[in-house]
Amino acid sequence: MGKVNQRPLLNRRLEGLGTTIFAEMSARAVATGSINLGQGFPDRDGPPEIARAAADAVLAGRGNQYPPGPGIPELRHAIAEHQHRFYDMAFDPDTEVLVTAGATEAVAATLLALVEPGDEVIAFEPYYDSYAANIAMAGGTRVPVTLRPPSFRPDLDELNRAITPRTRLILLNSPHNPTGSVFTRDELAAIAALATRNDLLVVTDEVYEHLVFDGEHVPIAQFPGMRERTVTISSAGKTFSFTGWKIGWVLATPELVSAVKTVKQFLTFVSGGPFQYAIAQALALPDSYYTALCEDLRAQRDLLTRGLAGIGFEVYPPQGTYFVTTDVRSLGERDGLEFCRTLPERAGVVAIPSSVFYDHQEAARTQVRFAFCKRQEVLTQALDRLKTFYSERSVVPASPPR
């Protein structure tokens, strides 16, 4: 085979990773006029005054040219202040905060910076799809530890057994996409103890930090010995309902931030200048903003989870995030992927098969994820469609709805 047709190593490493399911399902949603409860973005924009702040910044010429590499000082200060206000943690805005093109770039730059070829990275599956791809890009090996229904708790013995001399870091995500699981203080303390005992780094993706309905969000960087070995990643997308702006950040020691910045400068260099000004303002919104965001989403979660359970889905209620995982076995369905591929035609609703987020796809063969970050009338309409479809099929659930 000539060089022209040779598939580069990286390309082969990425084969089959990530997921094309979102594009496929969005296309099916459009083609069939379905309600799209697949991808996780809200169908209402964030606060109008923050949208105005971004527009004002553009018109006033703030951020229209390359902003500073680490992010504008106003935003770095606002991020540090946010961490202090909500978690009583101190970060130096000049050396310990880095602004990125969303959490997506933060995860990519962090893994490329910290993982060497041959290193093992432990992550809880199901995982957000960029993790596997980023580990592969860095030449690392991913080591999955599976979260299992109904509660999707981390199995700490399994985590302990997964650690080897080649383990470089543990990649955490709490609140967790797609299961909605929120790791408890005790679970995080145990993970932190394992990390310190084995001298591991922890990279923690906390983009849903403000979307917790039951329990509390606890940053793992707070635990003893963790401040110096943790890279904390978050983003404005979910907290302010502006997922298209792609403003994210990294918080860590100056050494770790500097390592991540070294990579980041060759990925995007900088991004989102005017949006950085707007997010600096957004982070300072009063507590009432954060509370209302969470209350609205809680109501949306309750509406969708109760409705799905009433139809006969087995529902695993999430403690946080935008998502609920269900099992469709109780509806007589045998394969989540097939279910999701045919649901738009059959019922006019789009969902995502959870198996695409797993290495061990069998573990989730009949699991299906629905997003509830949509207006209540949209969720009600989706539930009506599903109800009509299943009542016409008059399915007798295999197990009682919960």
**In this complex, which beta carbon is closest to ligand PLP, that of residue 215 or of residue 397?**
215
Phi, psi angle pair for 352, to nearest 5°? -120, 130
Q: Minimum Å distance from CB 128 to ligand PLP?
A: 4
The smaller minimum CB distance to ligand PLP, of residues 206 and 314, is found at: 206
Nearest C-alpha neighbor of 177 from the set 320, 379, 306: 320
Binding site for ligand PLP (CB under 6 A): 40, 102-104, 128, 173, 177, 205, 207, 235, 237, 243, 246, 248
Task: Give min distance, CB of 62 to ligand PLP, in A.
Answer: 22
Q: At its nearest, how many Å lie between ligand PLP and the CB of residue 219?
A: 15
> In the complex, what is the shortest distance from the CB of residue 164 to ligand PLP, in angstroms, rounded to a whole number?
25
Smallest separation, CB 61 to ligand PLP (Å): 26
Of 206 and 333, which CB lies nearer to ligand PLP in the complex structure? 206
Peptide bond connecting 397 to the previous residue in cis, omega within 30 degrees of 0:
no
End-to-end CA distance of the chain: give it in Å, rounded: 57
Give the neighbor-by-neighbor strand order of the sheet with 230-235: 97-101, 247-251, 230-235, 201-205, 167-173, 120-125, 141-146
Alpha-carbon distance of 36 to 42, in angstroms, equals 11
Task: Rank residues 179 and 355 by Cβ distance to ligand PLP and give the closer one.
Answer: 179
Give min distance, CB of 208 to ligand PLP, in A: 7
β-pairing, 201-205 vs 167-173, is: parallel
How remote is the C-alpha of 91 from its chain's centroid?
23
In the complex, what is the shortest distance from the CB of residue 205 to ligand PLP, in angstroms, rounded to a whole number? Answer: 5
Q: Which is nearer to ligand PLP, 96 or 205 (CB)?
A: 205
Here the tokens at position 282 are 């957004």
Residues whose CB is less than 8 angstroms from the CB of residue 242 and which lie 6 or more positions away in sequence, other chains included: 45, 46, 50, 51, 236, 275, 279
Q: What is the DSSP letter of 148?
A: B
Residue with the CB atom nearest ligand PLP in the bound state: 102
Of 164, 197, 152, 133, nearest in space to 321 by CA: 152
> Cβ closer to ligand PLP: 187 or 205?
205
Q: How far is the CB of 104 from ligand PLP (least distance, A)?
A: 3
* 47 or 237: CB nearest ligand PLP: 237
Between 35 and 352, CB nearer to ligand PLP: 352
Omega of the bond prior to 150 within 30 degrees of 0, cis? yes
Per DSSP, the three-state class of 115 is coil
